[in-house]
């Protein structure tokens, strides 16, 4: 990973926006440090997914349960231990860089964002409990947080100032740091012992501004304002460190408060994935990146000094935005407020996750078990091979050699790895669209699609039903004339939203459906109103996008083109229809993110509880042994899931003359009726015991 060292030679440090126990204890963090990583950041959302999505913390929680601690106190114990362990690993970096890098950040409770004294008190307590010099306490850049920054710096406590979006707010943060240093001088303190970074959030600005630009029909500035805003901030920083005031502090040993680029994961899947890394490289800056962006940058990121490039153009872009009537100050204020709300919700979810974990530990509840005694030795051996060859880690690194020597149809099909994170950024926009539709009295949604584009929406409809006041969703995925005729008679176009859904944008059946129902709707509502009843979900640049633009469809949802159809359940192909029937997308995506955490490379399939890795090894190994008929036994309410997973498994493994045959919807029989080629997967709701006895008979029979 020479890239990290090359980047450091240009003056930029890469920090890692991620933490979990096994990542620290099993050597992954140390491995990254050895290759040039210079710091780590954490937040409640990261801790929530790590605690809920793994067994990393189970032993510690078991030991804390009987200490009569509150949920928040238990969290603090878990987090402090992680921070201490990470700080110890980063200490050599801290010393080697003369206290410039090597920091690990931990956040004060988001509940204290508007409480100056509360923030100061908790920050002092955390700093004392952790007891490491290379720790930064994260404090939000709210009006109440600004004086807390000054006080903490004056006490010699290093601070990571978070949730900065605007230039004016950044100026307040910079002033707070300077005043804090000056107070520390007055106290006779050591300026060399304290540091700070100003975490300037990037991608969320483009997400918000792009929405305004869409309303104005302006595409020229899309994807540019966040970087322009950051470059303007860096110009202020450059001027500040040339001032006499700063030079006096620097002479006394003060370190500059570096700009840290945060929220650098690309929210728009149509932008280059390393956009907010490649374009913000400069001297005395930090970029904290999530694992997915880190891997993308290591694979194809650019090492060029870019922060001072095209600065005049950046200022012109900001001026042009202002001329268009887009109020960036209002947008950034709202982004900070939304960020605080999001952080607070993450903290609440974290507390719930710990409570649920405590409950499952007390009841010794296990959500996943394998019964395969006959093959256990071979399974254990296969798991060791999986670990030794770093298969899970390589999947997350998008290493095509896991599957084939050639990257064709692999490297450009792995967008599903970050579907939950991309989906999370789309939720607000989707909700606004759904409320608009509901407000117009539209009662039904008819999805026109085939295969992967239609299966997930159908699963959502059959599994969750329709929430009161939302649209009833039906899927048309058959070209049988009688079914098309039946749906044409069943749905009143005046009360129906037609969802034209195709990844390629050229699926003959889907386009034929669209033409038929479009003409039918024209006859009912007229040419002037027909477009209000049609939306499209497709890949950018597809034939459907062009058609939808020409026909002025009400909405065009452009999906990540790097996601294959059958892997699109948590992309726009799945979550837009799900929202229309009233599915709680926030809960859906949050649970998916927990499972992402469970499936990550840091969750060792042997020493951890990596459920997908364990299930995959069992399915693959047994298939090689001739046990290649996988039979799904499910609770009645989950029956439709089998239809979706059937296609997923059959199409994904049925290549090169070999594969696994999924069997769904079959009656559960006595063990004697089955041959030795069956692997059973029992998926049930928590309180459903319908098939427990029959499944136990299958387990007992081997």
Rounded CA separation 187/165 (Å): 32
Rounded CA separation 361/297 (Å): 39
168: exposed, middle or buried (C-beta count within 10 Å: 0-12, 13-18, 19+)? Answer: exposed
DSSP assignments along 234-249, one per residue? HHHHHHHTTSHHHHHH
Rounded CA separation 497/500 (Å): 10
Q: Any alpha helices (H) in 241-290, and if so which ranges?
A: 244-251, 275-278
Rounded CA separation 326/318 (Å): 10
Let me know: does 93 contact 114? Beta carbons within 8 Å: no
Q: Which residues of 226-246 are buried (b: 16+ CB within 10 A; e: fewer)?
A: bbbbbbbbbbebeebeeeeeb
Rounded CA separation 95/501 (Å): 56
Check 49, 138, 224, 357 and give the catalytic one.
Answer: 138
Query: Among residues 616, 610, 606, which one has the least CA distance to residue 596?
Result: 610
Alpha-carbon radius of gyration of the chain:
27
- 232 a catalytic residue: no
Measured at the CA of 624, the angle between CA 619 and CA 625, to 5 degrees, comes to 100
Say if strands 496-501 and 555-558 run parallel, antiparallel, or are unpaired. Answer: unpaired
- For 378: left if phi > 0, alpha if psi spans -120 to 50, otherwise beta; the answer is alpha
Let me know: does 309 contact 280? Beta carbons within 8 Å: no
Query: Among residues 548, 505, 507, which one has the least CA distance to residue 530?
Result: 548
DSSP assignments along 48-92, one per residue? HHHHHT-STTHHHHHHHHTT---HHHHHHHHHHHHHHHHHHHHHH
The HSE-up count of residue 120 (CA atoms within 13 Å, CB side) is: 14
Q: Phi first, then psi: what are they for 517, rounded to 5°?
A: -75, -25
Q: Which residues are catalytic?
A: 138
């Amino acid at each position: 990973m020479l890239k990290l060292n090359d980047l450091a030679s240009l003056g930029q440090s890469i920090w890692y926006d991620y933490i979990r126990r096994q990542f620290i204890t099993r050597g992954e963090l140390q491995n990254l440090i050895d290759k040039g990583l210079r710091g780590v950041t954490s937040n409640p959302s990261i801790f929530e997914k790590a605690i809920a999505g793994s067994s990393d913390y189970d032993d510690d929680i078991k030991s804390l349960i009987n200490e009569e601690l509150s949920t928040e106190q238990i969290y603090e114990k878990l987090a402090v231990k992680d921070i201490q362990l990470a700080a110890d690993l980063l200490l050599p970096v801290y010393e080697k860089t003369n206290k410039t890098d090597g920091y690990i950040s931990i956040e004060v409770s988001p509940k204290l964002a508007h409480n100056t004294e509360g923030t100061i008190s908790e920050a002092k307590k955390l700093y004392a409990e952790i007891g490491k010099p290379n720790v930064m306490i994260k404090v939000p850049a709210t009006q109440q947080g600004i004086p807390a920054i000054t006080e903490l710096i004056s006490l010699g406590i290093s601070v990571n100032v978070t949730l900065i979006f605007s230039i004016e707010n950044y100026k307040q943060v910079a002033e707070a740091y300077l005043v804090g240093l000056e107070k520390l001088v007055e106290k006779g303190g050591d300026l060399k012992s304290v540091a700070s970074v100003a975490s300037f959030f990037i991608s969320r600005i483009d997400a918000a501004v792009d929405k305004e630009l869409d309303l104005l029909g302006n595409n020229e500035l899309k994807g540019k304002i966040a970087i322009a805003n950051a470059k303007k901030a860096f110009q202020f920083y450059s001027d500040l460190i040339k001032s006499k005031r700063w030079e006096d502090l620097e002479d006394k040993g003060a370190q500059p408060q570096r700009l840290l680029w945060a929220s650098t994961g690309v929210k728009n899947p149509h932008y280059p994935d390393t956009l907010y890394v490649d374009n913000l490289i400069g001297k005395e800056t930090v970029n904290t990146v999530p694992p997915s962006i880190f891997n993308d940058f290591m694979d194809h990121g650019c090492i060029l000094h870019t922060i001072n490039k095209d600065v005049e153009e950046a200022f012109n872009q900001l001026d042009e935005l202002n001329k268009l009537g887009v109020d960036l100050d209002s947008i950034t204020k709202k982004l900070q407020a939304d960020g605080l709300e999001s952080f607070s919700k993450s903290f609440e979810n974290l507390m719930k996750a710990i409570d649920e974990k405590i409950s499952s530990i007390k009841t010794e509840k296990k959500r996943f078990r394998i019964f395969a005694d006959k093959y256990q030795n071979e399974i254990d051996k296969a798991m060791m091979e999986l670990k030794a060859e770093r298969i899970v880690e390589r999947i997350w690194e998008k290493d095509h050699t896991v599957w084939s020597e050639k990257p064709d149809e692999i490297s450009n099909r792995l967008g599903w790895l970050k579907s939950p994170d991309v989906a999370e950024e789309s939720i607000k926009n989707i909700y606004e669209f759904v409320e608009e539709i509901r407000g117009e009295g539209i009662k039904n949604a008819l999805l026109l699609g085939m295969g992967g584009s239609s299966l997930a929406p159908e699963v959502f409809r059959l599994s969750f039903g329709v929430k009161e006041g939302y649209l009833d969703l039906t899927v048309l995925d058959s070209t049988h004339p009688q079914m098309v005729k039946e749906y044409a008679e069943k749905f009143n176009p005046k009360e129906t939203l037609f969802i034209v859904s195709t990844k390629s944008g050229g699926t003959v059946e889907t386009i034929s459906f669209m033409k038929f129902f479009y003409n039918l709707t024209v006859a009912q509502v007229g040419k002037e109103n027909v477009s209000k009843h049609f939306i499209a979900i497709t890949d950018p640049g597809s034939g459907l996008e062009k058609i939808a633009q020409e026909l002025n469809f009400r909405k065009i949802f452009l999906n990540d083109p790097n996601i294959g159809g059958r892997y699109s359940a948590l992309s726009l192909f799945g979550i837009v229809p799900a929202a229309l029937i009233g599915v709680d997308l926030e809960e859906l995506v949050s649970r998916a993110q927990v499972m992402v955490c469970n499936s990550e490379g840091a969750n060792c399939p042997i020493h951890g509880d990596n459920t997908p890795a364990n299930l995959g090894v069992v399915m693959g190994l047994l298939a090689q042994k001739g046990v290649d008929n996988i039979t799904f036994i499910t609770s009645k309410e989950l029956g439709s899931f089998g239809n979706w997973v059937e296609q997923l498994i059959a199409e994904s493994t049925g290549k090169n003359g070999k594969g696994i045959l999924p069997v769904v919807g079959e009656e559960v029989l006595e063990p004697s009726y089955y041959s030795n080629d069956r692997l059973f997967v029992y998926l049930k709701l928590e309180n459903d015991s319908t098939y427990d006895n029959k499944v136990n008979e299958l387990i007992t029979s081997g």
